[in-house]
Amino acid sequence: MNDSEATNWVTSWIEGSTEAFAILVEHNGDAVYNLAYRMCGNRATAEDIAQETFIRAHQRRHQYKPEYALRNWLLAICANLCRSRYRGWRRNKDTEQAFAEEQEIERNIQSRDNGMSEHKIALEQALMALPETLRAPLILQYMEGMTIQEVADTLHLRLSAAKMRLTRGRDQLRGMLQRTVGDRGKP
Amino acid sequence: MNENNLNNERNDGPSAGTPFSALADLRVNAPPGFTDRVVRSLMTAHKAPRRWGWPTGWSWVAPALAGAAVAVLATLFFTGNGPFRGNAMDTVVVQFEFHAPHAEQVELVGDFTAWQSGHILLVGPDESGHWTARIKLPAGRHEYLFLVDGREWVTDPHATARRPDGFGNLNSVINL
């Protein structure tokens, strides 16, 4: 789809076309689902959040500003929904614990199913062990290829805060990976 | 992945061949049929099914009791008796004003309309280009926006407070 076609689809979608909405989901579904999955670590919950993201976007489509990349706008909605859910889970410690365990089991199954290398499994485990506030910026920058400014806009952060979170996220990830490498080197 | 590589990441963004660039390989795709399911759920949300007809079995009991309770509470409220005496249900009459001399229609949309348009139309414009609406709202904190000509969402420039809506815009806030 070229830029002009994309603009036409977005215009049709804002006017209420369901066909255009379907194309929008098709083109952005992976990015939204990936963010939701990497933030919650559970496939069913991720699909639920991703679905809600598109429904909310559709309900608020008149608020979309074309100068803002549509995918980034959708990811902003998704990140916001993930934060709300996360706050909900944190209110209930038992649920949080059960959810964390469920996440870990699912991740292990998924990693084995995908035949991932040990390195990638270690990287994934380190990423998912990061606090939510540091994980989201890394996902947006490294998985979605966003600039730091886009990360800041999407997460409603100041540029300096986005930079700081990216640096801290990388530092913590690096530390965890070094420990993993170190552990493997031990006799 | 060795320790040296782990220290090579630049601070200003992703770069190929570094351990963090491998994060891109961890990207997961939406499951098959995702688009269809989202579109179906949208259609369901649009056509909220309503089942008409008399309820069967005992399913009428709870709604009937709820209805009776509402009737009793409404009676107590409107007769000024019971716990509502002198309270007037804590509703406040508020006048909203918005300056848009060239607009053809201005709506007030907020949490009190469940963010649905088409409920509260402002009257205007008057000679000075102002649109107004006078409505009753429950006491408390409310977020709202003006919807101009059905497409432009505008934060009230006279709102006492504003709050990010999580979608890159600001909602107007009123405390009653």
pLDDT band at residue B167 under the 50/70/90 scheme? low
Q: How far is B21 from chain A (nearest CA, A)?
A: 6
DSSP 8-state assignment for residue B122: P
Chain A's closest residue to B14, CA to CA, is: A142
Cross-chain residue pair A73–B11, CB shorter than 8 Å: no
As a CATH number, domain B88-175 is 2.60.40.10
A-B contacts at Cβ under 8 angstroms: 130
Residue B107 predicted with pLDDT over 70: yes
Is there a contact between A39 and A135 (Cβ–Cβ < 8 Å)?
A: yes
Mean pLDDT for chain B overall: 74
Nearest chain A alpha carbon to B109:
A60
Q: What domains appear along chain A, each with residue ranges and CATH number?
A: 1-115 (1.10.1740.10), 117-187 (1.10.10.10)
Core vs surface per residue A125-163: b (16+ CB within 10 A) or e = bbbbebeeebbbbbbbbbbbebebebbbbbbbbeeeebb
Closest residue on chain B to A73 (Cα): B167
CA A13 to chain centroid:
24
Mean pLDDT value of segment B53-66? 60
Q: Which residues of A touch B1 (CB under 8 A)?
A: 119, 122-123, 177, 181
Phi, psi (rounded to 5 degrees) for B33: 80, 5
Distance CA B138, CA B142 (A): 9
The band of B50, judged by pLDDT with boundaries at 50, 70 and 90, is: very low
pLDDT confidence band for B16 (50 / 70 / 90): very low
Model-level ipTM above the cut of 0.85: no
Distance from CA of B49 to the nearest CA of A (A): 17
CA-based angle A89:A34:A32, to the nearest 5?
90
pLDDT at A90 over 90: no
| Cross-chain Cβ contact B38/A29 below 8 Å | yes
Helix (H, G, I), strand (E, B) or coil at A51: helix
Tens-digit pLDDT profile for residues A48-59: 999 999 999 998
Pairing of strands B170-175, B141-148: antiparallel
* Cβ pair A181:B9 closer than 8 A: no
Amino acid at position B78, single letter: F
**Do A21 and B30 count as a contact with CB atoms less than 8 A apart?**
no
